[in-house]
Structure 1
């Protein structure tokens, strides 16, 4: 995925520590939107970005689903999803991403518990990589969205 990051516009939803998004920024992402429902997490992310002098990122203290429903959609090249386990978030988030949040050839990285099945995915989502580590499964999907306007 490293060769996709430079110049990419990214979203890290359920960002937690922000490790995925911060790594993308360090590898040349153009802009990153961090979203997390926790005010403590959001404040820490804001402080971390200030420490790093990262001016190409924003932190949104909001539920990821509410953000995707209410914010003006902008196509993202890479989306990181690492929702809290056993809460059914992916079934709610994936359809929202299809409403203008996916760039023409977006990548969606999903980290989830391995014993839970993925919710139904749109036909334009293609699994590129999958890895299991302990109780986690990591999946990388490419989403073909030919009707998307490039940015």
Structure 2
């Protein structure tokens, strides 16, 4: 596997702009809280590091990854934000439930962003086991929450530049 020894949260190849003038929502699934809490912290820290004022970060918890879709929809219908970051963790079990949830969440998050013409970032881990999830939530493969926040900043900046 190409990423076996690689920290994926390497931004040395790109410049992340200031996020001081943007408003973000971070919607975090409570299921697999140990992992999603670490994803949230990575996202939050990246936004603060890039200049987002604390008052410009709206944090919302939802029960599980499937509810990220409705959470993003409600947020975009009721609040003015420049991007929504959806964070969750789906770990494969013994049934096809994993496949249905992963597909539903990925398609749902994409559709909410398209519907509202606002960046909605997919920061959902879809792993085979807890160890893989931990490796991507602050472990040896970086923090997908940090990456999701960087994507949110870059996409909000892109959208603003096109207006």
Task: State the TM-score, normalizing by the size of structure 1.
Answer: 0.47
Report which of the two has the higher share of helix.
Answer: 2
Greater RCO structure (CA 8 Å; 6+ sep): 2
Report which of the two has the higher share of strand.
Answer: 1
